[in-house]
């Protein structure tokens, strides 16, 4: 009896040329709708995967940018300190120049002053150099507006135009970045031998 019930529950296979039963058509429509839903869900999954990949790339780029900024902050973090030390160098340099100008007076005391000041200046410059500071003393070089600030232009028949003749105040670079341009006096562009009248 159970065998009879099972056979009655299975819908008969439609014969060729015969339209399927409404139940079978409804089941096929249901399966087609589910297939379309599955395709739509697969498209959404693919779109979400792409969005996740883009977010990962954005996150990676952001992390790299922060690393570059952190590296820059470490590299140039001492800039304020270096700028504050520059007047000390200037003062020592001026003291040495003044002492050398009065060399003949009080020779022994002057020698000790010059020696001590020279050692102090060298020590300070060495410390700065270890921290990425390079001194700009461009006498004889061509004027470079990125590195030098021209205070004045003077005639100099023996020098090429825009050649630095004198450095009024040395400039400094910190890891390749100008923290103070050298203040200089340059030769003008006048002809070396003006025409005779």
Residue 91 belongs to some domain of the structure: yes
For residues 55 and 46, give the distance between their C-alpha atoms in angstroms, rounded to a whole number. Answer: 14
22-25 long-range CB contacts below 8 Å, 24 or more apart? none
Number of domains in the chain: 3
DSSP the chain: -HHHHHHHHSPPPPPTTSPPPHHHHHHHHHHHHHHHHHHHHHHHHHHHHHHHHHHHHHHHHHHHHHHHHHHHHHHHTTHHHHHHHHHHHHHHHHHHHHHHHTTTTTHHHHHHHHHHHHHHHHHHHHHHHHTTEEEE--TTSBP-TTTEEEEEEE--TTS-TTBEEEEEE-EEEETTEEEEPEEEEEE----SSPPP-
Q: Do residues 87 and 125 share a domain?
A: yes
Radius of gyration of the chain (CA): 42
d(CA 173, CA 186): 21
Q: Does a structural domain hold residue 12?
A: no
Domain end, chosen from 85, 107, 131, is at 131
Asked whether residue 100 falls in the same domain as residue 82, the answer is: yes
- The pTM is what? 0.53
Both 56 and 94 in a single domain? no
pLDDT in tens, the chain (197 residues): 455 444 455 555 555 655 768 888 788 888 888 888 999 999 999 999 999 999 999 999 999 999 999 988 888 888 888 888 888 888 888 878 877 777 767 777 777 788 888 888 888 888 888 889 999 999 999 999 999 999 999 999 889 999 999 999 999 999 999 999 999 999 997 655 555 54
173 domain-assigned = yes
155 shares its domain with 179: yes
Q: In this structure, is residue 99 part of a structural domain?
A: yes
Q: Is the residue at 7 inside a domain? A: no
Residue 197 lies in a domain: no
Structural domain boundaries enclosing 81: 77-131
């Amino acid at each position: 009896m159970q065998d009879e019930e099972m056979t009655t529950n299975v819908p008969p296979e439609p014969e060729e040329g015969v339209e399927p039963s409404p139940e079978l058509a409804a089941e096929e429509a249901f399966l087609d709708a589910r297939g379309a839903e599955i395709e739509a869900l697969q498209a959404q999954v693919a779109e979400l995967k792409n969005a996740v990949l883009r977010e990962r790339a954005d996150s990676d780029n952001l992390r790299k940018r922060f690393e570059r900024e952190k590296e820059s902050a470490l590299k140039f973090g001492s800039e304020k300190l270096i700028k504050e030390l520059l007047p000390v160098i200037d003062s020592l340099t001026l003291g040495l120049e003044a002492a050398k100008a009065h060399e003949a007076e009080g020779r022994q005391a002057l020698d000790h002053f010059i020696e001590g000041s020279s050692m102090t200046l060298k020590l300070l410059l060495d410390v700065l150099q270890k921290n990425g500071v390079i001194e700009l003393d461009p006498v004889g070089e061509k004027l470079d507006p990125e590195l030098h600030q021209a205070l004045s232009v003077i005639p100099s028949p023996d020098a090429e135009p825009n050649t630095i003749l004198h450095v009024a105040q040395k400039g400094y670079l910190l890891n390749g970045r100008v923290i103070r341009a050298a203040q200089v006096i340059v030769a003008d562009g006048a002809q070396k031998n003006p025409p005779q009248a």
